[in-house]
Amino acid sequence: MLINVDLGDGVIRQMDDSELTPNHSTIENDSERTQVTEFQLDGKVVHRSVHVHLKQGIGIEAVLGSF
């Protein structure tokens, strides 16, 4: 699978994920579960993907009330 990476020179490239080292972590609390995947090349993070799953819905009234 091809992944967009930043090698630090300001140019976004695509690399095959088999060339990268993935690190997965999960952070969980009462409100959410966050899954983070970082892809590294030679010890440097070149791509980070974050997915947040809310366990409880956010009350839209609170969001609308802040406008």
Reported as a single tens digit per residue, the pLDDT across 7-62 is 999 899 999 999 999 999 999 998 899 999 999 999 999 999 999 998 876 666 56
Print the domain residue range for 9: 2-65
Give the chain's domain count.
1
Distance CA 46, CA 19 (A): 12
Task: Tell me what pLDDT residue 67 has.
Answer: 58
Task: Tell me what pLDDT residue 22 has.
Answer: 96
Task: Tell me what pLDDT residue 31 has.
Answer: 85
Task: Tell me what pLDDT residue 66 has.
Answer: 62
Q: How far is CA 8 from CA 13, 41, 49, 57, in A?
A: 11, 11, 17, 38
Q: Read off the pTM.
A: 0.72
Distance CA 23, CA 38 (A): 5
